[in-house]
Amino acid sequence: MSAWKDIFSTPPADGQNIVARRWLPDTADVFGTWVAQAQNRLRVGPDPLALQQSELWCWKPLAGDLPPWPVPHAAKDWRDPWTFPPADGTLVWIRRFPPWTPALPARWSVGDASFMQDQPSDSPFRLPWQAVWRWKPRGS
């Protein structure tokens, strides 16, 4: 087992498969392929799912091939959007940080990998998946 490395002082090689940790607390490790060429990002699933270098804090090499990326499925409790992504168009509650922020109503969009506010507002929001700590279906 290799030790965790700082993503800025010791970045992965271009094209290297890695396991990384996001800056949000209590989130699952993510795996993907490091794209260094002018982007410095981790491709973590089908596009447009990616994490910028600034959204990660450490990494280590992944032994072998990338595992299959999770497939959307039903969830009852709070779920990590990367580990358990909702199906496209699902009406959800989202939490940005545990436990300090309120749950917000949103709709998941697979096309741009974001949670969109689906209720009228003077300041509608769109949060990328990596800025959301947990989600759960509305009504649960």
Q: Residues 79, 70, 128, 52: is their CA dihedral positive or negative?
A: positive
Lowest-pLDDT choice from 9-13, 29-33, 67-71: 67-71
pLDDT class of 115 with cuts at 50, 70, 90: very high
CA distance 11 to 82: 22
Give the neighbor-by-neighbor strand order of the sheet with 114-116: 126-128, 114-116, 104-109, 91-95, 134-137
CA distance 48 to 46: 6
pLDDT for the residue 75: 63
pLDDT class of 126 with cuts at 50, 70, 90: confident
99 Cβ contact list (under 8 Å, min separation 6): none
pLDDT class of 111 with cuts at 50, 70, 90: confident
Average confidence (pLDDT) over 76-86: 85
pLDDT for the residue 41: 87
For residues 28 and 72, which has the higher predicted lDDT (pLDDT)? 28
Secondary structure string (H, E, C) spanning 36-69: CCCCCEEECCCCCCEEEHHHEEEEEECCCCCCCC
CA distance 55 to 129: 12
pLDDT for the residue 1: 54
pLDDT for the residue 11: 93
